[in-house]
Amino acid sequence: MKLTEIIAAIEQYAPPVYQESYDNCGIQVGDPAAEITGALLTLDVTEAVLDEAMSRNCNLIVAHHPLIFSGLKRITGSNYVERIVQKAIKNDIVIYAAHTNLDNMHNGVNAMIAKKLGLVNNAVLAPMGNLLNKLYTYAPAAIADKVRNAMFDAGAGAIGNYGECSFNTVGEGTFRPGSEANPAIGQAGGKREAVAEVKIEVLVEKHRESAVISAMRAAHSYEEVAYELVPIANKHQQIGAGMVGNLTEPMDEVAFLTFLKSVMKTECIRHTALRGKKIERVALCGGAGSFLLKNAMHAKADIFITGDYKYHQFFDAEGRIIIADIGHYESEQFTPEIFEEVLKKKFPNFAILLSNVLTNPVKYFR
């Protein structure tokens, strides 16, 4: 199996364009042209995980957290990152990471937590902006459906759970071919032509721009295809940080915390004061999500579940919401299952293995 095929499957699910600016997703170590014999899926890359990959005949490690967040100035083996890089290179092990791009997908890390908790009517808590464009193009009425279908096949026209969405206006287009033109209608250097055309309007996600425009051009009959690609201010409701949803039935606060502790397999939940109210609406964010507290309040959540909360940040709840810190690792521990589902669906006969190594660096003294 080619590494490029595996990466293409992951990045179709979680395009790298949606990673945060501070992140470092993609190939961390290894040859992009490598032939892969097996893939080991993990949350973190540790020396134990690397040894496990070698022992289980996997020459690819797919991780959620990047091994390398900032540039390495030297590789001398002075810390675990440098040692892993050295050993991976010596043993031809590829290390790949999909981090905040997977966090920001509506069917990514936060959706997995929501699924474990049985939440319904889920929505992205903080949708991202500047990710959508409106594409306008003009096609002769006779081929308008062909052009539309080509753009749809390339991914245009998706709005939430709906596909192939467009708006179409019938009108008249005019043009006069220049002397060097090779027109589909009319003659080079000839008179002005008037053609019955359809103006086609579709939404295009940022990561699909090139594919959609290429498909549009290929399907069109005109030598010069007129179109406009215009950024729009709409938030992308399927991409962004955190998630909010509802329990199927309200729960007592203590009962919910007990349920949360069990489902998320955490030994400790640090939380703010209970409010004496039922838990029904739940906001959450895998990893470190304290920056989303105001979003959780705005969404009228009864509780906000995340990790890595600092002491003074707990005061920000102000009795309006319960903050529940379940731990960074605990909130993201099921992420490798997403990789497994994506890759096994695409490559059912390929060796795709979940790591057996517990990578949580935090231990609890009981």
- CATH fold for domain 3-100+334-354: 3.40.1390
**54: CB partners within 8 A, 6+ apart:** 91, 93
Give the distance from CA 150 to its chain's centroid.
24
**Cβ contacts of residue 119 below 8 Å, gap of 6+?**
243, 245, 246, 247, 282
Q: Is 329 helix (H, G, I), strand (E, B) or coil?
A: helix
pLDDT for residue 47: 98
pLDDT of residue 161: 87
**How far apart are the C-alpha atoms of 266 and 152, rounded to whole Å?**
44
C-alpha–C-alpha distance, residues 341 and 347, integer Å: 10
CA angle 62-67-68, nearest 5°?
A: 130
* Integer Cα distance of 250 and 252 in angstroms: 7
CA-to-CA distance for 228 and 138, rounded, in angstroms? 10
Average pLDDT per 10 consecutive residues for the chain, totaling 366 residues: 97 96 96 97 98 98 95 92 97 98 97 98 96 97 97 95 96 94 92 96 96 98 96 95 98 98 97 98 98 98 98 98 98 98 97 98 91
What is the rounded distance in angstroms from the CA atom of residue 101 to the CA atom of residue 173?
41
Fold of 109-127+240-326: 3.40.1390
Q: Does this chain's domain 3-100+334-354 share its CATH topology with 109-127+240-326?
A: yes
Helical (H) or strand (E) element with 252: none
| CA 134/CA 222 separation, integer angstroms | 21
Q: What is the pLDDT of residues 27-56, one digit of tens each?
A: 999 999 999 999 999 999 999 999 999 999
The pLDDT score that the predictor gives to residue 71 is 83
Contact status, residue 276 vs residue 101, Cβ threshold 8 Å: no
pLDDT of residue 140: 96
Angle between helical axes of 335-346 and 109-117 (0-180°, round to 10):
110
- The greatest distance separating any two alpha carbons of the chain, rounded to the nearest whole angstrom, comes to 88
Q: What is the C-alpha separation between 124 and 117, in angstroms, rounded? A: 16
Residue 85 host element (H or E):
helix 80-90
- The predicted model scores a pTM of 0.90
CATH of domain 130-234: 3.30.70.120
Residue ranges of the domains in the chain? 3-100+334-354, 109-127+240-326, 130-234
> 5: which residues sit within 8 A by CB, 6+ positions away?
347
Q: In the prediction, which pLDDT does 160 show?
A: 86
